[in-house]
Amino acid sequence: MATDVSVQISASPEQTRAAAAAADACMTWFAEVDARLSRFREESDLSHLNRSAGHWFVASPLLFAAVTVAVQSAEASSGRFDPTLLGQIQALGYDRDFAEIAQREVGSARYDTGPAPLLPESWRDIQLDPAGRRIRLPEPVRLDLGGIAKGWAADVALHRFCLPFGGALINVGGDLRAYGGPAPGESWSVGIRDPRRELETTAEMASQPNYVATLTFSRGGLATPGAVRRWWLRDGRRQHHLLDPRTGRPAPLWIDDDTPRGATDSNLAPTLLATATALAPTAARAEVAAKVALLRGFP
pLDDT tens-digit map of 171-217? 999 999 999 999 999 999 999 989 988 777 666 666 677 899 999 99
According to DSSP, residue 90 is labeled: H
- Reported pTM: 0.91
Q: What is the pLDDT of residues 84-123, one digit of tens each?
A: 999 999 999 999 989 999 999 997 655 555 567 788 889 9
pLDDT at 109: 54
Q: What is the pLDDT of residues 87-98, one digit of tens each?
A: 999 999 999 989
The 10 Å Cβ neighbour count of residue 218 is: 14
Q: How far apart are CA 148 and CA 188, in angstroms?
A: 23
Q: How far apart are CA 139 and CA 12, in angstroms?
A: 53
pLDDT at 82: 97
pLDDT at 299: 82
Q: Which amino acid is at 34?
A: D
Quick one: which of 18, 286, 4, 5 has its CA closest to 163? 18
Residues 148 and 73: beta-carbon distance below 8 Å: yes
Q: What is the pLDDT of residues 249-268, one digit of tens each?
A: 999 999 887 654 444 445 55
Determine if the peptide bond prior to 182 is cis (ω within 30°).
no
Side-chain half-sphere CA neighbours of 193 within 13 A = 19
Q: How far apart are CA 265 and CA 268, in angstroms?
A: 5
Residues 94 and 239: beta-carbon distance below 8 Å: yes
